[in-house]
Structures are given as structure tokens and as C-alpha cells.
Amino acid sequence: MVHRREVNGEVLVFGNQGALWNNAMTWWDHDTGSIWSQPLGEALAGPRKGQTLELLPSEFTTWSSWRADHPDTLVLDAPGDTTGFDLKDFLIVVDFTDDVRGYPVSDLRRVGVANDVVAGVELAVVSDPADPQGWAVYSRRLDDIVLEFEILGGALHDSTTGSTFDPVSGRGLTGDLRGRFLDRLPALTSFPGGGPTKAPIFDAFWPDGTIWRPASAD
């Protein structure tokens, strides 16, 4: 997940606070020492308590796919270990404050895309058919048209216009919408309640949130 670190015109500098809250990472800001929740982007304690950071759209994909679409990218070269987590054990979470929905990646991989409406926003949650670790969330509205997607031949196919889109970049590939881009929406990943960590992270952070299920699972 990616948050904008500017609050009320002030750019904050964060560090890893070291402790967990509801089994998720916390940060501290160097200016006031306030403690922040990573999933919520909200200050939990300290002078900034109650302030929130804006969640920004981000993308989880392979380096080769990213370079193909963004050849001039600069990257932070930092050491790191391979994660022991698998995306299939996670939820993709769309958090619009008043309406929060989690999308189980295992279900999403079966159907390829979830056409949904959250807080009045028509959106598509997409599992990249070429990369099981890749996903994206897009607005389904282009101008005055609401698109309806399915995965066909490795691409996002819209049954409304017959156009196809790249599932990674959201770029129109064929049809009347060729060359247009879908707007990417902010989202994050979370363990479900009772997931592999045995920690109810989604339930703890979003107790009023709902879980999406594909129609075939009803």
C-alpha cells in the first residue's frame, strides 16, 4: 500500500515504530512521535491522533511487466529477503471509509475479475492472468459509459463496447476505447479473519466491512 505523506500541507518523515497494532505494522512520524497504523494510514496516538493519510493507487506486478510499460523507471536498490507470504491467502481491500469491501484473492483468481459497486463507485478488481501475484483495481466508468469486464484471452474484455484492455496497465488495446486508460483506484491487501496468521486483521480494522464472493459461490 502507498500513502501520501503530506498532511495539511506538511510533508512528514516516517519510521517503523517496531510494534504491531491488531497484528499489523505501525509507524512513527519524526516530527511529533505520533504512532500511525499502516493499513488505516491513521494516527493512533500522540499529537496527530485522528489525522489520516491519503491512500494512493499502487500496483503489484512483475518487474518485467512494469519495465515494459514504464521503461524510464527509477528503482530503489535496497536489500530484502523473499517473502514467505502468498497473495492467494490475502484479501484485496477497497476502503472508501463509509463502505469497505474485501475480495478474496483465491476467489478472484477463479473468475479473473470482480465487477462491483462500492460506495456508489463502479469498479473492477482484476487478477492478472499472466502473473498470479499481480492485481489491480480500476474504475469501470469511462466518460458516461459503465463497462462490464471479463477475462478473455489474457485481456480484460468489455461486453458493453467490445473493447479490450491490458489488465496490468489498464490501457485500451482494441475497439472503440483503444488508447484510453482506465483510472486506477487505491486499494491494499489484508489477511482475512482467521487467515494463515490466525489473526482477524480484516475484521479488526474494518468490523463493518463486507466480503465479496463470486456469483458461483452463492
Q: What is the mean pLDDT of residues 77-94?
A: 80
Q: What is the mean pLDDT of residues 199-209?
A: 82
Q: What is the pLDDT of residues 15-50, one digit of tens each?
A: 998 888 887 889 999 999 999 998 889 999 999 999
**Which pLDDT score, from 0 to 100, does residue 166 have?**
93
- CB-based contact 14:5 (threshold 8 Å): yes
Q: Are residues 104 and 40 in the same domain?
A: no
Sequence-distant (≥ 6) Cβ neighbours of residue 59 within 8 angstroms: 66, 134, 136, 168, 184
Share of the chain above pLDDT 90, in %: 60
Does residue 153 sit within a domain? yes
**Which one-letter DSSP state was computed for residue 82?**
P
Q: Are residues 49 and 67 in the same domain?
A: no
**Which pLDDT score, from 0 to 100, does residue 196 have?**
47
Q: What is the pTM of this model?
A: 0.81
Q: Are residues 203 and 112 in the same domain?
A: yes
Does residue 80 sit within a domain? no
Q: Is the pLDDT of residue 197 over 70?
A: no
| Residue 26 domain boundaries | 2-54
Q: Are residues 36 and 105 in the same domain?
A: no
Q: Are residues 137 and 112 in the same domain?
A: yes
Q: Are residues 207 and 165 in the same domain?
A: yes
Say how many domains are in the chain: 2
Q: Are residues 43 and 90 in the same domain?
A: no
Q: Are residues 124 and 152 in the same domain?
A: yes
Q: Are residues 43 and 93 in the same domain?
A: no
DSSP element (H, E) containing 40: none
Dihedral over Cα of 66, 145, 104, 38: its sign? positive
Q: Bridge-partner residues for 126, per DSSP?
A: 113, 136
